[in-house]
Amino acid sequence: MGENPRIVVGITGSSGVIYGIMLLRALQKFDIETHLVLSKWAEKNIEIETEENVNEIKRISNFVYDENDMAAPISSGSFRTDGMAIIPCSMKTLSSIANGYDDNLISRAASVTIKENRRLVLVPRETPLSKIHISNMLKLAEIGVVILPAMPGFYHKPKSIDDLISHIIGKTLDQFGINNEMFNRWGKK
């Protein structure tokens, strides 16, 4: 990571918005500058799935952009970042990125991340997966995008839902080289 770490976080309307919220909180603890884009369906799912307040989620981010603001700094490669995580990543967003559609700021920022050879981590949360989903994931994986499905491990003996979520957040932070103790690692007691 750079001297002043900066990560773009996209939260889409897939179920599992708590993953994105917990990632933002973890990045805040590590003093990493965050640039947040919430899709309108992410905002709706925050209301449906959690007791969280959308405005509070925005407040824990350093910068927040409207998903339709295609002139936001993160839409340009000249705006330097250490990468981007889309967590959770809907299949619509994944498809948009895989096919270069760039229909909103989340997929545009992801395309910029790809073209600038920066780390892009997608955390899809969908089941079952269709051949179209798998094909789009393969297309992205072949160009270096990290596909990190929200599939928590159990070797660390989770005791709560938070433990399961923390496992995925820790694995996401690992992808950016951020040392963390979000979960008990294999072989560590």
Contact 57, 21 (CB under 8 A): yes
Element (DSSP H or E) covering residue 97: helix 91-98
> d(Cα 93, Cα 79) in Å, to the nearest integer?
22
List beta partners, residue 121.
Answer: 85, 146
Binding site feature residues for dimethylallyl phosphate: 155, 171
Binding site feature residues: 13-15, 39, 90-93, 125, 155, 171
Binding site feature residues for FMN: 13-15, 39, 90-93, 125
> d(Cα 185, Cα 137) in Å, to the nearest integer?
26
